[in-house]
Structure 1
Amino acid sequence: MMQLNLPPYPIRVKEVNGRKQILDILRRKYVTLTPEEWVRQHFIHYLIEHKNYPATLLANEVPLQVGEKKVRADSVLYDQHLRPRMIIEYKAPSVPITQKVFDQIFVYNILLHVDYLIVSNGLETYICRMDYDNQKYLFLEDIPNYQNI
């Protein structure tokens, strides 16, 4: 897999029926190793190991319903009362971060109404803090440590 702009971690990969799988520590199981999953696992480890996000408050593949359509948020961070605080959307490293990607995460935020949105393809990462009072969002330079959100 491709080198990312995220710190390495001790990756656990296995092969099942000729297909590679990677351990998802949040779902506590091996999942198919795709380029997007490669980004997700690196990003989750980065949040936990470098930004002090509690693994117990993070979830992957969170089901949502937008009208009749069922979708899944790639990752969601909750607070101690299990209210959503952050949505994270991942793309494969080959997928550029475009307005379409932001539109996707904004739709999810209509349902979850979080404080932070992150979009990453492992090479580029964008984070926004929502300002609901002024109906806008502010791009941040870096992902805040958990204690600062």
Structure 2
Amino acid sequence: MQKLHFPTYTFRFKNSENKPYIFDEIRKKFVVLQPEEWVRQHCVHYLINEKKYPKSLINVEKELKINNLKKRYDIVIFNSDGSIHLIVECKAPKVTINQNTFDQIARYNLALNATYLMVTNGLNHYYCNIDFEEERYQFLKDIPEYQL
């Protein structure tokens, strides 16, 4: 797999039916190792190891409904009160992050109301803070570390 713009992490791998799998520490199971999954697993490790978010507040690949359509978010981090702190949209490294990517995460955020958004293809990372009262967002250099 391609080297990404994240710190180097140790992952658990296995092969089954001629397919590579990677262990997801949040879902506690092996999942098929696709390029987007490679990015998602790096991002999970980044959030846990660098940003100090507790695993108990992280959700990966869950379904949500938007206008009666079933969608799946990549990563969500909750606040301790159950509100949503961060939504992360992961793309494969070869996928260019463009307006469509931001539109996708913005649609998810209409349902989830996260304070922060992160979009990454493993090579480029974009972060923003949502100001609901002013109805605008501001790009950031990084997302904040976990605060109790």
Normalising by the smaller structure, the TM-score range is: over 0.9
Aligned pair 1:110/2:119, yes or no?
no
Aligned pair 1:96/2:96, yes or no?
yes
Aligned to 1:49: 49
C-alpha deviation, 1:143, in angstroms? 2.0
- Cα distance in 2 between the residues matched to 1:43 and 1:73: 14
C-alpha deviation, 1:87, in angstroms? 0.5
- Cα distance in 2 between the residues matched to 1:100 and 1:2: 24
Give TM-score, length-normalised by structure 2: 0.97
Aligned to 2:3: 3
- Cα distance in 2 between the residues matched to 1:78 and 1:128: 16
User: Where in structure 1 do 4 or more consecutive aligned residues deviate above 6 Å?
Assistant: none
Aligned pair 1:28/2:3, yes or no?
no
Q: CA RMSD in A?
A: 1.0
Consecutive unaligned residues in structure 1, runs of 5 or more:
none
Give, as a single letter, the amino acid of the residue that structure 2 aligns with 1:20: P
Contact 2:26 2:59 in 1 (8 A): yes
Give TM-score, length-normalised by structure 1: 0.97
Identity of aligned residues (%): 45
1:52-63 aligned at under 5 Å gives the runs: 52-63=52-63
Consecutive unaligned residues in structure 2, runs of 5 or more:
none
Secondary structure of the residue that 1:147 maps to in structure 2? coil
Secondary structure of the residue that 1:21 maps to in structure 2? strand
